[in-house]
Amino acid sequence: MMRFLGTFLIIAIVNTCFGQKDDTTINTPATLNYTTELVVPELDIPWGMTFLPDGSMLVTEIKGKLIHFKGGVKTEIKQVPEVYARGQGGLMDVELHPDYKNNGWIYFTYSSSEGEENGGNTALMRAKIKEGTLIDKQILYKGTPNTTKPYHFGSRIVFDNDGFVYFGIGDRGEHFVNPQDITKDGGKIYRLKDDGTIPSDNPFVNEIGAKTAIYSYGHRNPQGMTKHPVTGQIWENEHGPQGGDEINIVRKGKNYGWPVICYGINYDNTILTDKTEMPGMEQPLYYYVPSIAPSGMAFVYSDKYPDWKGNLLIGSLKFQYLERLVITDDKVTYREKIMPDLGRVRNVKIGNDGYIYVAIEGKGIYKIVPSR
């Protein structure tokens, strides 16, 4: 009986702590020093975007479209791989090789049903575009096994300063199976050479049975990732359950704890773990309670926004704004809403022109223009 009461009390307390609807820790600025301009109109769910040297853009839509946007015209690229369109699956991120100008390689992640089992898992592909068609397609990595679970595919792609490519795969709905096991895919950030081979100094190359592409593990569902413009480190954000979204700096061989430690609870309000820290597991740089459902992330580094220089931007799918985070010594010291009420923010990136581009579901891609 006491035990029962105890559990009941814990649930009641957790409910009051985590159950709150609004995020009271974020600031709403009194004045706006910018306007927004719709650049690419009428997109369904624009998941990934990247900027080509000629000023045009590549945009993915989750349902499996790769769109080339040039001079105000959208052209659908042909021969895009078929996506496993179930739940959160689809065509996700797109990124250019750092030397795209010379080699033409384009990288993207998508849910793929390639393989023996029913279902799908996340794949990283590279390919080139010739006359509006994808050619030279190479699957560089494919998570296994396939599963019909419809969620937690990840995924973002980022290159670091040494030319390695990083991407994430979410736990694929098997949080007690995948994230803590380095012999299994899912719940990981991976690091590969640009041609898909495994770097010889990856952390688990000498572990028997390990997936040697793994760079860090214990992740839930990473859907935002970016390179820090000064340190060159890879930063990621990931969806927690109810509460417990995280921002992390991705470090070699580290364990980020999911689902052993977590600041959130299950969707049905039951407790997932009562631990928020453990030796050998990384603490997040920042965690969100309640969850904001974080999407893309980017650092402001161009001189277009002098007041925001060095700040981090993260999209919120849930609260429908972009947030600006001031980071001092790897700590979040201030958060502020920008672009509220435009819709579910799916992605944010800095263009080659130094402007901030923001992708909003059901609307399109906006540019943030500072007021003079």
Q: 165-224: which residues touch other proteins (CB under 8 A)? A: 173
Q: Which is nearer to other proteins, 70 or 86 (CB)?
A: 86
Amino acid at 59: V
Q: How far is the CB of 21 from other proteins (least distance, A)?
A: 8
Q: How far is the CB of 20 from other proteins (least distance, A)?
A: 14
Which x/- pattern over 247-286 shows residues binding other proteins (rule: CB under 8 A)? Answer: --------------------xxx-----------------
Q: Which is nearer to other proteins, 42 or 201 (CB)?
A: 42
The count of chain residues that interact with other proteins, using the rule CB under 8 A, is 23
Q: Which is nearer to other proteins, 61 or 181 (CB)?
A: 61
C-alpha–C-alpha distance, residues 372 and 369, integer Å: 9
Site membership for other proteins, residue 138 (CB under 8 A): no
C-alpha–C-alpha distance, residues 149 and 122, integer Å: 12
Q: 1-60: which residues touch other proteins (CB under 8 A)? A: 44-45
Q: How far is the CB of 70 from other proteins (least distance, A)?
A: 25
Among 11, 85, 210, 332, binds other proteins (CB under 8 A): 85
Among 343, 367, 369, 370, binds other proteins (CB under 8 A): 343
Amino acid at 269: N
Q: Which is nearer to other proteins, 4 or 267 (CB)?
A: 267
Instruction: Name 225's bridge partners.
Output: 236
Label residue 130 exposed, middle or buried (CB < 10 Å: 0-12, 13-18, 19+).
Answer: exposed
Which of the stretches 143-151, 208-216, 254-262, 348-356 binds other proteins when contact is defined by CB under 8 A?
143-151
Contact 171, 198 (CB under 8 A): no
Q: How far is the CB of 270 from other proteins (least distance, A)?
A: 10
C-alpha–C-alpha distance, residues 67 and 60, integer Å: 6
Q: How far is the CB of 362 from other proteins (least distance, A)?
A: 4
Contact 15, 9 (CB under 8 A): no
Rg of the chain's alpha carbons, rounded to an integer? 20
Label residue 257 exposed, middle or buried (CB < 10 Å: 0-12, 13-18, 19+).
Answer: buried
Among 14, 40, 59, 62, binds other proteins (CB under 8 A): 62
Q: Which is nearer to other proteins, 147 or 202 (CB)?
A: 147
CA angle centred on 345, ends 214 and 355, rounded to 5°? 90
Instruction: Name 359's bridge partners.
Output: 347, 365
Which positions ≥6 away from 310 have C-beta within 8 Å?
230, 299, 300, 301, 327
**What one-character DSSP code corresponds to residue 83?**
P
Q: How far is the CB of 261 from other proteins (least distance, A)?
A: 22
Q: 87-116: which residues touch other proteins (CB under 8 A)? A: 87, 89-90
Catalytic residue, from 152, 175, 228, 239: name it. Answer: 152
Nearest to 67 by CA among 46, 53, 88: 46
Q: Strand pairing of 356-360 and 364-370? A: antiparallel
Site membership for other proteins, residue 149 (CB under 8 A): yes
> What SS3 class is residue 261?
coil
Among 159, 344, 357, 358, binds other proteins (CB under 8 A): 344
Q: How far is the CB of 115 from other proteins (least distance, A)?
A: 18
User: Residues 204, 209, 213, 219: what is their CA dihedral angle, to the nearest 10 degrees?
Assistant: -80
Q: Which is nearer to other proteins, 16 or 328 (CB)?
A: 16
> What SS3 class is residue 82?
coil
Contact 327, 309 (CB under 8 A): no
> What SS3 class is residue 222?
strand
Among 23, 185, 323, 361, binds other proteins (CB under 8 A): 361
Contact 92, 153 (CB under 8 A): yes
Q: Is 152 a catalytic residue?
A: yes
Site membership for other proteins, residue 340 (CB under 8 A): no
Query: Where does this chain bind other proteins (CB under 8 A)?
Result: 44-45, 62-63, 84-87, 89-90, 149-151, 173, 267-269, 318, 320, 343-344, 361-362
Catalytic residue annotation:
152
